[in-house]
Amino acid sequence: MKKCCPYKKLVKQARNLADQGKEFVIEGAQDLQEKVTSDLMPTVESAVDSMKDQFQDAKKYSEKSFKEASKQLKKHSANGREALAEKVGKSSPKRGRKTFLFLILAALAGGIGYLLYRRSQPVDDPWAEEYWEDVEVSEFDPKEAVEDAQDKAKEVAEDVADKAQDAVDAVKDKVEK
């Protein structure tokens, strides 16, 4: 008999354990669902109801206070909103103009101060080295350069002639021997 798969037994055991684990997880989830529906749902529902009641109370209170405020406004002023608008309108534009004028003057002073600051800064760095003053420039004389080149050429030609003569003499000496 030939064994095709040595792990067949282990695979069967793993399947059985997986099925048992699946059943365990399903039972646990059902228990958790029952606890949530029995314990937490009533608490959440009562909290929602309480919030609804508080919202309704706040709504009623705000409506009452709004009505009371409008009655008081009409009572203290014959024209109501017109008198209030006149009081607010008289003081606001002057104060706004003063603030705007102050801001413009402050910006102008700041701009002038910045301009003066920038103008007072040195253009050149006073601590920088003056490198252009240390350079010595020699004047180039083409005639002198040509004379120097001719002199060098004569020296080299004489050296070559001397060495050639020495070589010729050396060859003559070897031929004679």
Per-chain mean pLDDT for the chain = 79
Q: How far is CA 13 from CA 6, 20, 29, 55, in A?
A: 13, 11, 24, 60
Alpha carbons 15 and 9: distance in angstroms, whole number: 10
Name the residue type at position 131.
Y
Which tokens go with 148? 């120097």
pLDDT value at position 109?
Answer: 93
Is residue 120 pLDDT above 80, yes or no? yes
Whether 23 has a pLDDT exceeding 70, the answer reads yes
pLDDT at 1: 47
**Which pTM value belongs to this model?**
0.28
Q: Are 75 and 84 in contact (CB under 8 A)?
A: no
Helix, strand, coil shares of the chain, percent, nearest 5, are 85, 0, 15
pLDDT digits (tens, 9 = 90+) for 65-83: 888 887 877 777 655 556 5
**Residue 80 — left, alpha, or beta (φ > 0 → left; ψ -120 to 50 → alpha)?**
left
For residue 153, give both structure tokens. Answer: 């050429």
Q: What is the mean pLDDT of residues 39-51?
A: 81
How far is the C-alpha of 10 from the C-alpha of 15, rounded, in Å? Answer: 9
